Every structure is written in C-alpha cells, then in structure tokens.
Amino acid sequence: MWLTIAFGAISLGIVVASIVAMNVESAQALILPHMRKKIPWVFIEPQQIEEGVTVPPDSHVIIHLPESFRQIAREVLLGHDGKTIRYWGYCLPQNYDPAIVEARKGLPGKLFLSEAERAERAERERAKRQPFSVFRLPTKKDVQENRNITSIRHELEMFTPSLLCYIMTESPLAIGLDYDTDSLNIKLEQGLGTDPDSPDTDFDGIWDGIEYFTDTSPLFRDSDTDGLIDGIEDRNWNGRIDPGETDPRTQDSDRDHLCDGLCRVKIGRSQQVIIGEDLNLNGIVEEGETDPLKKDTDGDGVEDYTAYLRCQMGENTLCIR
C-alpha cells in the first residue's frame, strides 16, 4: 500500500511541477512574493481525514482520502472556506486505463480551485488582456498575446474515496468527512462544539449546517432567547424567514417592543415582568394573544405594546389579554 501511495505521491509531484512550469504565475498565485524560504511538503493520511485535521497554509500538501465514504462535496470536505480563502489543488485519476487517460485533454487528473482563487485568476486574466476600441484596433501581436494567456480552470467538485490529491492554501483549512450529513465536516464540528454524529445537536429541528450558514446557534435551541425554539419560529426548518414565520435571530420580529414569545422585561427602576406575544410558546396565534408579525394586532391604531401598558394601568376596558 505504501509503495502505491509513494508512487502516486511522486506522480502527483511531477504533475504539479508540470502545472507550475505551464503557467508559473497562475499556478503559484498563492505563494506570496516575500516567501523565499523552502516550501515544506506535508502528507495527510486517510485516518487523519477521518478524524479531522487542518491543512497547513503555504505548504505543498498531499492528501490521501479514505475509503469510508461514498462521495463528498469540495466545500464540505474543505470546511466551507472557499469563498474567502484562496486555495488550489489537483487530484490524480483513479483509473490509469490508457484509453481513459488519452480521452482527457491536457492533464490526466482534475484541478480544483476555491471560489476566491477563481475570482482572483479571472481578475488577473482580465488585467492581462489588451483593451480594444474603435480608436485602438487590435494588431496581430495583440491577438497572439491574448491567445497566449493560459488559464487553469476548476474541474472537480465532488470527491470520491481513495483519491490522492495535492493542495496549496493561503490559510488553514478544516478538512474531514461529514458523518451525519449535515454539511459540516468533522473538523469544523469539533471547532464549533457540535456533535459530528448528530445532524441536529440542539434538537430544535434545524440541522447544524443550516444553522451555521444562517446565523442561528446549532448549540442552543432558542438562539434569540425569546422563549420560542428556533424550529418553531422557522417552521419548515430551511433557515429562511418565510411568510408566516417569526425570525429566530431576533426577539421582536414586528418591532412592536413585545418579544415574539415571552421575555423578562424591566419596568421602572426595579420591577420586572414576563411579557410577550405567544403566551404558551407554541408558535400559533390563539385567543388572548397578539400576533408577533403585526405591530397592531387588532388594527385599532394602537401598537400592541402600548395597548398592553394601557391595559395594565386600567386605561383600556377591552384588552386582548
């Protein structure tokens, strides 16, 4: 097994060297100008990926994916940092059948680039190309120079077992498998404190990955502490505020100064009361409750909070509660 991996690693190094030789500036865009020291090589084994590991920055890193999964998306495998962190890599083909290799144009394997890296490369390509206008028509030299601008394109989005890949990144990347299929890999979940074996750590009905991406807490059932569980406010558990739903990120969705559920509020210098709109915290507007999506539930021109205070002071004879 180690001889096979060693041969693969050597082959991978040769391919990477070929990529760099083909387009030094484009391929090594992540190597900063001030880096003059020797760049280290790092090998990450399958067991490390199964347990969760960090890909070090500014290094030649070879990763060998384990066999204990079916497939995993690039962003999940590499911790969802592709939009902000520049990284690029290359994976050797798993089948060395000459007919398959010959059918591919260019390199035998596939390249992958983060969104941030793709954006940077696209900008560099635009900067290199000669601008033309009716006042400056292109010459033969201009056309030839534009044709000579080579580019490295993103090809690989889904990773499969046993792949041997090279990667270089400008910042650390959390790499690992996603055992509970909540779109967060094990290393990322270790950092967050969520359960990598449960898609819904806090049992609020919304999966950890959705909460991570939509700014609710995957560790606490009631992110905004308004007394309503996140999964009750987000009824379809999709992380979006759809019609008829209150916002699990804020206590007061309609901004009428009454929290969506029940909250402890200080009145005066020392008095505290528990008030809110959903008295039984079930997410349904029932008799005797105000609507957390309407500032003025009964449409009388007086906002719900003002009406509540008037009722407490005995100024209103007809009170919702």
Residues 94-146: tens digit of each pLDDT = 655 556 555 555 567 889 999 999 998 888 777 766 666 666 666 666 666 55
- Integer Cα distance of 24 and 30 in angstroms: 11
For the segment 274-308, what is each residue's pLDDT rounded down to a tens digit?
899 999 999 999 998 999 999 999 898 989 988 88
Q: How far apart are CA 184 and CA 163, in angstroms?
A: 20
Residues 219 and 208: their CA atoms lie apart, in Å, by 8
Name residue 274's amino acid.
I
pLDDT score, position 294: 95
- CA–CA distance from 80 to each of 11, 12, 183, 184 (Å)? 28, 25, 9, 8
CA distance 304 to 295: 6
State the CB neighbour count (10 A cutoff) for residue 157: 10
Angle at 237 between CA 231 and CA 241, to 5 degrees: 95
90 closest CA partner among 109, 76, 74, 63: 109
The tens digit of pLDDT for each residue in 49-98 reads 999 999 999 999 999 999 999 999 999 999 999 999 999 999 988 655 55
| Cα 221 to Cα 235: distance, rounded to the nearest angstrom | 14
Share of the chain above pLDDT 90, in %: 59
Q: Name the pLDDT band for 221 (thresholds 50, 70, 90).
A: very high
Identify the pLDDT of residue 195.
97
Q: Can you say whether residue 60 is alpha, beta or left, with left for phi > 0 and alpha for psi between -120 and 50 degrees? A: beta
Contacts by 178-181 with C-beta closer than 8 Å and gap 24+?
Answer: 178/72, 178/76, 178/77, 180/208
In contact, 86 and 194? CB cutoff 8 Å: no
